[in-house]
Copies of this chain bind each other. A is one copy, B any other.
Amino acid sequence: MNDALIKEFEAIVGKENVMHAEADRQAYSYDAAVLEPVVPDLVVRPTTSEALGKTVRLCNENALPITPRGAGTNLSGGTIPGRKGVVLLTNSLNKIIEINEQDMYAVVQPGVVTAKFAAEVARRGLFYPPDPGSQAVSTLGGNVAENAGGLRGLKYGVTKDYVMGVDFFDVNGELVKAGSRTVKCVTGFNLSALQVAGEGSLGVINEIIFKLVPPPAANKAMMAVFDSIDKASETVAAIIAGKIVPCTLELMDKKTIELVEAFTKAGLPTDAAAILLIEVDGHPAQVADEAEKVVEIARRIGAIDVRAASSDAERNKIWEARRAALPALARARPTTVLEDATVPRSQIPTMIRAINRIAEKYNVTIGTFGHAGDGNLHPTILCDRRDKEEFKRVEDAVDEIFEVALSLKGTLSGEHGIGLAKAKWLEKETSPATIAYAKKIKAAIDPKGILNPGKIIGA
């Protein structure tokens, strides 16, 4: 990139917020997905809304690709530059602009860290439920762009269910305002929803209005231990069929339990074939009733042990063990391929059996954990990418996992996004007309194709 253009960026965001040294650019060439890095020409970090808009405009004027980036924690390559160009960091746009307790909403900049926001909301006596696995570092802008899920999706929904409005810059750097601070709003096209899961390819998020809810008055966490994964998955289906909607209903298979226990020494039963981690919340009487029913169902289906947390410390221990699943698996082998094909929840037993069959067929190691209650499993393949023969088997296994998920009326991705990683699979789930429709919107909104190019619908 020529010096004159770099100076133009510096004039907008300040010299200290434009990075062009090789080492800096390398740092933004990859994300949490297992994909080849692409080194950008420049890394720009606007610190004001105005500078954000001007940066977008300058990129468009010069036909420079923009890769917006929060914490880069997405798992589908959404923040790997599709073509070189500019990585646009949002992490200095990190103000919580307003938390309105009376009207139960908040207005934030995109770079606010998810957990920090949730904690501040809690301090004001309210609740922001979405809790993606990477919440300790992930940003709210990234959560919206990827429609991040999390452990509480079953009862509380995902990020999209809390987006009341999004202000974003169009490719010309003009501000588009969609949605409202009101619970109900049908003013104009549903453009804020279009930014959700748009992966930054239809606009650059400037501000988000989030719905907040009252926190549950009580909760109860439980762990059910099984000697067969079939019994665990049948318990999941039976809980839902019993019209109980737990806040969280997570599964870990044997491989995951072993690795988590080796990593955390949390006291997990390493001789179990599977465990379910369950939390119910709400009114204290409801919590007591539902916890009792959950225990009864798990025992009836054959849990060999059901333990309830009797203190906050015990409850935290359960959820820390669950949150350790991915890091624990990731330590086992050089490469971790984390999938999130999702099925209607009653298909969980079938899906888990299929995953185990596929692991055997392709001779690959798969640890499976995830949000069993909403059908969103994370089969995680442990491998070494440098071993080409093995990695070919891994790719074949992933392809077959997708095929099974679709045959069960499921979807390619529950919460990780399509990004670069799954774009080639999109047509199989949808239709040629679906891709064509999306491409028409993309071309109209971004004629030069500079907004996070290559994502979702390909180049």
State whether B411 touches A182 (Cβ < 8 A): yes
With an 8 A cutoff between CB atoms, is A251 at the interface?
Answer: no
State whether B342 touches A184 (Cβ < 8 A): yes
The residue that A186 contacts in the complex, of B178, B214, B413, with Cβ under 8 A, is: B413
Q: Which of A374-433 contact B (CB under 8 A)?
A: 374-376, 409-418, 422, 426, 429-433
Q: Which of A255-288 contact B (CB under 8 A)?
A: 282-286
State whether A147 touches B190 (Cβ < 8 A): yes
Given contacts A102-B241, A286-B286, A345-B103, contact A190 B193 (CB under 8 A): yes
With an 8 A cutoff between CB atoms, is A220 at the interface?
Answer: no
Tell me the minimal C-beta distance from A99 to chain B in angstroms: 13
Over the window 180-195 of chain A, the binary record of Cβ atoms lying under 8 Å from chain B Cβ atoms (1 yes, 0 no) is 1111111111110110
Q: Which of A129-178 contact B (CB under 8 A)?
A: 146-147, 149, 153-154, 157-158, 160-161, 170, 172, 174-178
State whether B160 touches A190 (Cβ < 8 A): yes
Given contacts A283-B286, A344-B103, contact A183 B376 (CB under 8 A): yes
Stretch at the interface among A40-48, A81-89, A310-318, A438-446: A438-446
With an 8 A cutoff between CB atoms, is A123 at the interface?
Answer: no
The residue that A102 contacts in the complex, of B182, B345, B411, with Cβ under 8 A, is: B345
Over the window 97-115 of chain A, the binary record of Cβ atoms lying under 8 Å from chain B Cβ atoms (1 yes, 0 no) is 0001111110000000000
With an 8 A cutoff between CB atoms, is A80 at the interface?
Answer: no
With an 8 A cutoff between CB atoms, is A346 at the interface?
Answer: yes
CA distance A440 to B146 in the complex (A): 23
With an 8 A cutoff between CB atoms, is A291 at the interface?
Answer: no
Over the window 25-42 of chain A, the binary record of Cβ atoms lying under 8 Å from chain B Cβ atoms (1 yes, 0 no) is 000000000000000000
Contacts of A181 in B (CB 8 A): 344, 409-410
Contacts of A440 in B (CB 8 A): 444-445
CA distance A433 to B188 in the complex (A): 13
Contacts of A426 in B (CB 8 A): 187-188
State whether B409 touches A456 (Cβ < 8 A): no
State whether B438 touches A441 (Cβ < 8 A): no
State whether A105 touches B344 (Cβ < 8 A): yes
State whether B433 touches A175 (Cβ < 8 A): yes
Contacts of A184 in B (CB 8 A): 149, 153, 158, 342, 371, 374-376, 411, 414-415
CA distance A197 to B180 in the complex (A): 14
Tell me the minimal C-beta distance from A341 to chain B in angstroms: 9
Contacts of A371 in B (CB 8 A): 184
The residue that A188 contacts in the complex, of B146, B414, B434, B444, with Cβ under 8 A, is: B434
Contacts of A354 in B (CB 8 A): none
CA distance A190 to B374 in the complex (A): 19
State whether A185 touches B102 (Cβ < 8 A): no
Over the window 437-459 of chain A, the binary record of Cβ atoms lying under 8 Å from chain B Cβ atoms (1 yes, 0 no) is 11011011100000000001100
State whether A434 touches B345 (Cβ < 8 A): no
Q: 30 A-B contacts, Cβ less than 8 Å apart? A: A100-B346, A102-B344, A103-B347, A149-B184, A153-B184, A161-B161, A170-B436, A174-B431, A175-B433, A178-B434, A182-B374, A183-B376, A183-B414, A184-B415, A186-B197, A186-B418, A188-B197, A188-B418, A188-B435, A188-B438, A189-B197, A189-B202, A189-B438, A191-B438, A193-B193, A193-B196, A283-B283, A285-B286, A286-B286, A441-B441
Chain A interface (Cβ within 8 Å of chain B)? 100-105, 125, 146-147, 149, 153-154, 157-158, 160-161, 170, 172, 174-178, 180-191, 193-194, 196-198, 202-203, 213-214, 237, 240-241, 243-245, 282-286, 289, 342-347, 371, 374-376, 409-418, 422, 426, 429-438, 440-441, 443-445, 456-457
Per CB-CB distance, the 8 closest pairs between chain A and chain B, nearest first, are A285-B285, A193-B193, A444-B444, A174-B433, A184-B414, A283-B286, A214-B243, A102-B346
